[in-house]
Structure 1
C-alpha cells in the first residue's frame, strides 16, 4: 500500500434531504481523527467532501445545516461514496440528481456505502440487485413494504458485500468508518479515532443490533401506536391504563382492539415482548440474570425467572449456560413478526433466518 499521507483515503459524502446527523457525524469524525495527529483535523491521511445535488447547504433531520457543500464531483475522485439518508416520507420528491449520480458512481466501479436510510437511495438507484442489504431494525418494516424484492438484514451493524457496503446507522457508522480506516491506513489509526470518540473497541459488522425487533405490520392505528410505545419502554412494566392514556384512548378500547387484532391483551403482549428482550440479552450480553430482569422491567429476579421459564421452558440461568459464549453465528436474533389477521385474532411469532 502506498504512503497514506501521499495517497489519503478519499470519501465523498452524498447528504440527502433531512439526513440523520448522528451517523453522519460518527462516520466523518472517525475519518477526521484518523486523518491527523492528535486532534488537529488536517485532511492528511483522510480526505472528505460533502456533496448535495446543486451544492446547496445540506439540511439535517434535526434542523442543523452542513456547509459548505459542493455539487457532485466525478465519482472516480473517491475511494468510497457514502450516502447518508434521512427521514423517510414517501411523499417527498425523489432527488433524481442524487439517484443519477449514484448510478454513475456504480458504473464507474466506485464502492458505494449506504448509511441509515441511505440504503433506500441505493435501492432506488437500482444498484442493490442481488446484494445483501443491512438496515436498522427501526426501518426494516418500511423497507420491506416499499421494496418487496429486496431482502434486508436487521440483525447486525453493517455488511460489506464487496463494492456495496450498508450500515444500520446510529453509532454503527463509527464502526463501519473504523473498518474502512483500518483497511486503508492500519488498525492503529482506526483505534486512535475510536478511543478519542470513547469507544472501547471496534465492533465487527456481524455484531448484533442492540435490541430485538418488532416488525410493525399491524393495520389498526391504535394497536400500532401502542406497540411502538411498548417497544420504546421495554425496561418498564407499564400499566394498561397508562398505555391507553399515552395512546389517547380508553383501557376498554385498547384491550378490545389488542384481542381482536393479536389475540392477546396488551399486558400479556408487553410482558412477552420484554421476555423476548431478556432472551436476547442472555445470548448477546454478559449482564447478570438480575441485571437483565431489571432491564426488562421485572421487579425481582424470581418474578423474571418464573415468567421466563413459563415462556421458554428453561430458566434464565440455564439459557445463559447453554448460550455457548453468545456465539452470534449460531444464535438467531429473536424477531417477532406481527401481522393483523382479521377474523382470526391471532399473532404469529417466528424466528427469521
Structure 2
C-alpha cells in the first residue's frame, strides 16, 4: 500500500496515504471499530482498553494520544455474544479519518448478516490505503468481503477447521496470537487482541505506553506476533479435515476426556470411520493421539509452571498423580518428578510438543 509519514514527532511511522488529519492536530493512533452481531465482548474490550490506558496519564481515559470510535450504518445498538449491548458512537463516514479500521467478530454463525454498507465501507478503506484489522472471527468478514486474498491471516485454533471448510486455499495461521501482513492485521481474539493493540501502541505512540496499558490490565508485557496461542500446541499436522476436527474436540476436553465413541458421535460419524482416518492420516489411533495431547500438556505445565503434580494431573484429565506418572513414563521414559527435578525450562526428550506413540 502507499504510505505517508506524519512529521512533528521524534518517532515517525507510516500512516495510511490520503489521511486527512495531520499528526499535530490529534492523537497519534486512531482506530474505527465495526462490530458484528454477537461480537466477542472480551476481544473488543481488551483492544479498546489498551488504547484507553495508553491515551492518557494514569487511567484518566482522555483520548489524547489515542482515539477510538464504534462506527455504524444504522446507529442501532449491537448485541455481543454475552448479551451486553454497545451503542455506536458515530455513523460511517470517511475511513481515512482513522489510521486503522477494525472488524470485531464473534459467533461464526452470525457473520452471514454483515451489512452491505459495512462491506462497502471496508472496500473504501482498503482502496484509500487504510490498514484493516480482523479481530477474532473478524478475519472471516474480511475474507468474505474479498479483502484477504493474497494475505496471511490469523484465526483461533478453535475456528481453524471451520475456516478451512469455508475458505479453501486461504493462507491462514492458527498457531500464533496475531499476524501482521502488510496492511492486514489479524488476531485470534481474547487476550491476543490486547497484544495486537499493544503492538500498534508501541509502533505509533511508544513502548512505555504499550507496557503501561498491559501492566494496568494485569497482563504480562508485550508479546510478539509469533507467540504461540495459549493451550497445548497440537503439533500433529494433517490435511484430513475429519481428523483436524477430532483433534480440536480433544483439545477442548483435555481435563474431562471423552471416549472415542463420544467424539465420533459429536462429529456425526462412526467410531470405526474415525479410527480409519486417524490411522491413515497419523498412523496412530484416536486413543493414542488423545493421550499424547494430554501428556504433552502435562509436560508443558511441568516445565513452564509451579503447579503441583497433583494439580497438573487433574488439569490433564488423569485420575491421580500415579496414573499420570505411569502414562508419562511410557511415553517419555521418565516420570513427572524427574522432569520437575531438572528445573523449570528443561524438558525430557521427545518428538515435539505433541509427540504421539503408535499406542499407549
- TM-score normalised per structure 1: 0.76
Cα 1:37–1:94 shift into 2, 3 Å: closer
Matched, 1:26 2:46: yes
Q: Which residue of 2 is the match for residue 14 of structure 1?
A: 34
Contact 1:280 1:334 in 2 (8 A): no
Question: Residue 217 of structure 1 is aligned with which of 234, 241, 257?
Answer: 241
1:2 aligned onto 2:8:
yes
Q: How many residues align?
A: 323
Shift of 1:201: 1.3
Which segment drifts farther, 70-79 or 263-272?
263-272
Partner of 2:16: none
Instruction: Say if 1:61 and 1:86, in contact at 8 Å, map to a contact too.
Output: yes
In structure 2, list runs of 5 or more residues that go unmatched. 1-6, 10-22
User: Mapping of 1:173-252 within 5 angstroms?
Assistant: 173-212=193-232, 217-218=241-242, 230-236=250-256, 240=259
1:23 Cα deviation (Å)? 0.4
| CA distance in 1 between partners of 2:352 and 2:276 (Å) | 30
- What CA deviation, in whole Å up to 9, does each residue of 1:156-211 have, x standing for no partner? 10111121111010011111111111111111111121111111212221111112
In structure 1, the partner of 2:105 is 85
Task: Verify the 8 A CA contact 1:12 1:81 in the aligned structure 2.
Answer: yes
1:32-181 equivalence runs, <5 A: 32-89=52-109, 92-181=112-201
Structure 1: how far apart are the matches of 2:252 and 2:81? 20
Higher mean Cα deviation, 146-155 or 273-282?
273-282
- SS in structure 2 at match of 1:92: helix
Alpha-carbon separation, structure 2, partners of 1:335 and 1:185: 43
Counterparts of 2:354 and 2:98 in 1: how far apart (Å)?
39
3-state SS of paired residue (1:89): helix
- Structure 1 gap segments, 5+ residues each: 337-347, 349-353
RMSD: 3.9
Q: TM-score, normalised by structure 2?
A: 0.75
Displacement after TM superposition at 1:212 (Å):
3.2
